[in-house]
Structure 1
Amino acid sequence: MQSVQGAGLLEQETESPKFDYRKWLKWSLLGMIGVVNGYATVLMYAKGEIAFALLTVVLTALALFIFGSKRTYAHRYIFPGIAGMLIFIIFPLIYTVGLAFTNYSASNQLSLERTQSVLHQRTFQSGDSYKFDLYKVDNGHQLVINANGELLASDVFDIANPFADPMTLRDVDGVQGEKEKIKAIVKNRSNLSKVELVTPEGEKIRMSGLRKFAAEAPLFTLQEDGLTMINNKTQQIFMPNMEIGYYQPVDENGNFVGKPISPGFVVGVGGANFERVMKDDGIKEPFFGIFVWTVVFAFLAVALTLAVGMVLACIVQWEPLKGSGIYRVLLILPYAVPSFISILIFKGLFNQSFGEINLLLDAMFGIKPSWFSDPVMARIMVVIVNTWLGFPYMMILCMGLLKSIPEDLYEASAIDGAGPVQNFMKITLPMLIKPLTPLLIASFAFNFNNFVMIQLLTAGGPNMVGTSEPAGYTDLLVSYTYRIAFEGGGGQDFGLAGAIATIIFLLVGGMALLNLKFTKLSQD
């Protein structure tokens, strides 16, 4: 009996542990993610997208650390939130601030190496040009060059798949075939441009027009130092100007002379973009004017929506009022309708020639304001529309807060003989302002960046005159930044836009800190 038990124990001890397929699947999946993301990182780095490669490395390392370690595995539920914050908040913020210290623009987007490659691909006509004709023959097509009255023909080739190697031209008396029309040359231009021909004198020629072949050579040649480029046509020496991000001619002393050539490349410019905001009159004057208008607009937006919303909340909460539920629904409708629809409707209502508002004003008072061309009237229109869009939100907030005010205060006030106005000023307003303060600061920050309404209603217009960058009288800082980034007359200036966006971030960030401070005081 004992021997049997001993044999059973020995058998149990020699059994191999069970295969943990969950653990194997987990590490296989993590390893696959690491390999795929690592390969994607290498590709992004090779293409010069260093910022995106770094973001991929951080997210991948964070995912492997959280899901691969027992100590951090409990944090797997918050990983999507952390990843979203990194991708949509921290990375764009750092990227924008980084752009503010560069010359990144429509004409300065490439790296120095890529700029050299683009310049090296440019060619110029280094020899004579020759007229040519394309003939369709039995086995394909043939090119015939007219060299000063002498006919030179190429080998027969497949026009859909031309030879990669140069074809030597030979003298011919005539060509047996059908001459193709110009539309056939246009249709096959991309394939014909790949054909390289060699004349009997050894000159290589390529297609330089719909009817011409010519000898071409690289316009620029990169020298051994990896920086200097020589213009083979003029023998002018070009060097990269690291201050402006362009290749520029230099004299015998190495000083930059003449005009730079495009495309440019991205270089760091330090605080030059911030200096432009402060020193360039074409930017400084509209910037400070727009900044003041942005503050005034945000303040009026908060003050007017609060005033209208609070008064209407008090009215619909008034017990003797019959049908208050219907009024509540009607007053909330502007908030329920998508804002872009309301803005576009108001854009039609304020039309200077056919809008219903001007038709009504003309019939009643004989006036037709220029809502979209007069700066003052345009700003008044913007404030009116924004008040209409914003008062339902304030009304809803006030309706909820009114419920929290004790009725005993109003009863005591009635005993003392106070009327509705005194009750509002002495009880309702003080009791509402304190809890509303953080929300009002948040509303101020929102209207400070109210891009959608400005863009849809006025697009920033009417435009200011004499500015270096596009700017309008109804532009807010955020729409002004957008116009600099995407509508700049001298090229889309993303670096300058990034500098202004950084300033906006600091301002709005200060408001957020102020909001937190008031929230803490309110809680205390």
Structure 2
Amino acid sequence: MSVDTGTTQGALKPNESHARQWRGFGVGFVVKLILMGLVNALGVSIILSAWNVEAWGVLAASTALLVVADIIYFTRRMLPLKYIYPGLVFLLVFQIFTLGYTAYVAFTNYGTGHAGSMQQAVDAALIQDERRVEDLPSYPLAIVDNGSEIGFAVTDADGIVQVGTAEEPLAPVDGATVDEDTRPTEVPGWEIVPRSELFADPDLQEAVTELRVPVSDDAEDGSLRTRDGSSAAVYGSSLEWDPETATLTNTETGVVYHATETGNFVADDGTRLPTGWVVTVGFDNFVRAVTDSTLAQPLLKVTAWTFAFAILTVLTSFGLGLLFAIIYNDPRIRARRTLRTLFILPYAFPAFMSALLWQGMLNREFGIINDWFFFGADINWLGDPFLAKVAILWVNLWLSYPYWFLVCTGALQSLPGETMEAARIDGAGRWRQFRSITLPLLMISTAPLAIASFAFNFNNFTIIYMLTEGGPPFAGTSGLGSTDILISAIYNISGVSGGAADYGLASALSIVVFVVVGVISAIAFRQTRKLEEI
């Protein structure tokens, strides 16, 4: 009996190969193509933006990441990287880049008065010194609005209508019309603001009088300003910039301001212009934090209180949570579930809202704490340095102990019953069982959480800012207070809450906090390994 093997099912035809056959575009490929198109569009926009602002580092990194993404997702190999690469990109952008940029700022003088390049500082100095140029005439003016910003429309000596804004210098506009006084009446792309509307809106009047429209791209050419909204005059600066010698000269007084290595324009008599530029200052910010007499002593007190606050918060909240967990883990307690629910209620409230409520209750004049519990006594809970610390520790204990109550309850219920039974048979009492068995076993599971809680409270900005805002303040001009911890001190120094900003010093202190928390956490985690061995 013969078997026909020439046309068996699945056999290759003469014109077929063992290579994978192309079967057209699948749905997955089309979806991938669309997603990669969006990724490339976003990447190209970031690259072009970086090119425009001359951010060469961002440009190089964005280009490299985009090219690598295309290589990974348009090749059949590198399957693991297809899943890992997005996480790596997010890690680079949101973690490594942030830390790197913070470290960079820590070695600069970036802050109020030093927020740009030297050329930007020159332009700002020219603008700040502007005075009206008496020799030049005023121009008929119309206030214009394009829906997003206001600007000036003027008619020059040649009868050409020009429009400019605070960001864009004057430029001719085609198709504009003027009245008999040569004041623009219609400007394509802009709406003329009626004078009646201008006079009826004080905010608009203020915006118009504060508006300056550059005459050209060169700041030395001056700008247009108005006082009455009907005519504009050219304002120019008495300072003259010499890029070759890097000096600004006051043409009226003859004073010469030289560019210094500290990022300022300083005259021979020591006077300086208010606007400077960003320069690298090395370790000056770190040194200033420990040598500046107005800053070093308050920072030392803040640092000591930060450690005390973090340690005491962890110890008290853990201790109270463990105590309640032991009590309400006893089967003899009735309605245990209901009581547990009541005890964890503080954990369900937003921390910032709870802090605000406690701030009201601790108020010196009308707070219910003084009225109900101290018979109306005048106790300045939030104004006295010591009492303010006590109040913060108490409020944070009220907010934190439910977390440890839950954690310790779960840990207690997971302890091996055989071990406890053996200890009781051997004659161990309750205290000996707790000290020798329960607590060591609990620490194995809760020690990492305690370390994390310490790190969290070391940077617990919410409770400090919402309850006391760092006050009461220290005597002097440091801007820091008795209940400030390092993170709230950094917030104040950064100028976010108002006042002069010193991002360089704030970044330097942030690096210090990062190193301190990292070192303490590393040491503590090494100690937890010993507990596991025990």
TM-score bracket relative to the smaller structure: 0.7 to 0.9
In the TM superposition, what is the alpha-carbon distance from 1:408 to its structure 2 partner?
A: 3.5
Distance change (3 Å), C-alpha of 1:398 and 1:191: closer
Find the residue that maps to 1:124 and give its secondary structure.
strand
Aligned pairs (5 A) from 1:96-111: 96-111=102-117
Greater displacement, 418-427 / 372-381: 418-427
Shift of 1:449: 0.7
1:428 maps to: 438
Report the Cα offset of residue 466 of structure 1.
1.2
Which of 509, 523, 526 aligns to 1:517? It is 526
Which of 486, 495, 504 is equivalent to 2:504? Answer: 495
Separation of aligned partners in 1, 2:363 and 2:460? 22
Shift of 1:452: 0.9
Among 374, 382, 397, the residue aligned to 1:362: 374
Cα 1:273–1:325 change in 2 (3 A) is: same
2:30 & 2:401 partners in 1: Cα distance?
58
Q: Which residue is 2:130 aligned to?
A: 123
Larger radius of gyration: 1
Change (3 A) 1:141 1:427: closer
Cα distance between partner residues in 1 of 2:207 and 2:525: 67
Alpha-carbon distance in structure 1 between the residues aligned to 2:485 and 2:244: 48
Question: Could you tell me the TM-score, scaled by structure 1's length?
Answer: 0.77
1:388-467 matches, within 5 Å, as 388-415=398-425, 417-467=427-477
Change (3 A) 1:341 1:188: closer
Structure 2 gap ranges (5+): 1-12, 143-152, 157-178, 189-194, 216-221
| Greater mean deviation of Cα atoms: 486-495 or 259-268 | 486-495
Which residue identity is paired with 2:492? R
Shift of 1:227: 2.7
Structure 1 pair 52/156, CA: closer, same or farther in 2 (3 Å)? same
Which residue is equivalent to 2:339?
327
C-alpha contact 1:161 1:191 (8 A) present in aligned 2:
no
- Per the TM alignment, residue 104 of structure 1 is displaced from its structure 2 partner at its CA by 0.6
Aligned partner of 1:273 in structure 2 is 285
**1:322-372 CA deviation, whole Å, 9 max, x = no partner?**
211111111122212222222222122211121121112332xx7442111
The answer to whether the 8 A contact 2:105-2:507 is kept is: yes
| 1:403-459 per-position Cα deviation (integer Å, ceiling 9, x unaligned) | 232334443444455443333233322222233222211111111111111111111
Shift in CA distance, 107/132, structure 1 to aligned 2, threshold 3 Å: closer
Instruction: Give the counterpart of 1:508 among 501, 505, 517.
Output: 517
Amino acid of the structure 2 residue aligned with 1:350: L
SS of structure 2 residue aligned to 1:354: coil
Distance 1:369 1:195 in 2: 58
Q: What SS is found at the alignment partner of 1:78? A: helix
Contact 2:364 2:379 in 1 (8 A): yes
2-structure distance, mates of 1:487, 1:205? 31
Whether contact under 8 Å (1:130, 1:212) holds in the other structure is no
Aligned to 2:240: 221
The 5-angstrom pairing of residues 39-78 of structure 1 reads 39-49=45-55, 52-53=58-59, 56-78=62-84
* RMSD value, Cα: 4.0
Shift in Å, 1:225: 1.7
Deviation of the 1:108 alpha carbon: 1.0
Partner-residue secondary structure (3-state), 2:371 = helix
Q: Secondary structure at the match of 2:240?
A: strand
CA shift for structure 1 position 18:
5.6
Which residue does the alignment assign to 1:478?
487
How has the CA–CA distance of structure 1 residues 323 and 231 changed in structure 2, closer, same or farther, with 3 Å as cutoff? same
TM-score by length of 2: 0.76
CA contact (8 A) 1:405 1:431 kept: yes
Q: Deviations over 1:5-37 (max 9, x none)?
A: xxxx99989xxx968546688578647744652
Distance 2:278 2:223 in 1: 35
Distance in 1 of aligned mates of 2:277 and 2:213: 29
Alpha carbons of 1:45 and 1:520: their partners in 2 closer, same or farther (altered >3 Å)? farther
* Structure 1 residue runs without a partner (length 5+): 1-8, 144-153, 164-178, 197-203, 250-255
User: Using a 3 Å threshold, how does the CA distance of structure 1 residues 161 and 270 change in structure 2: closer, same or farther?
Assistant: farther
Counting aligned pairs with the same residue, the percent is: 30
Aligned to 1:175: none
- 1:383 aligned partner: 393
More deviation, 286-295/320-329: 320-329
State the aligned residue count: 468
Other structure's SS at 1:264 match? coil
Question: Match for residue 167 of structure 2?
Answer: none
**Secondary structure of the residue that 2:344 maps to in structure 1?**
helix
Name the CA shift for 1:28/1:421 in 2 (closer, same or farther; >3 Å). Answer: closer
- CA distances 1:137-181 after superposition (whole Å, capped 9, x unpaired): xxx9999xxxxxxxxxx9732434589xxxxxxxxxxxxxxx999
Cα contact 1:301–1:386 (8 A) shared by 2: yes
| Residues 1:466 and 1:191: Cα distance change in structure 2 (over 3 Å) | closer
Aligned to 1:236: 255
Q: CA deviation at 1:396?
A: 1.4
User: Which aligned pairs between 1:75-90 and structure 2 lie closer than 5 A?
Assistant: 75-90=81-96
Q: Does 1:92 align with 2:98?
A: yes
Alpha-carbon spacing, 1:133–1:120, altered in 2? closer, same or farther (3 Å): closer
TM superposition shift of 1:86: 2.0
- Specify whether residues 291 and 220 from structure 1 end up closer, same or farther in structure 2 by C-alpha distance, changes over 3 A only: same
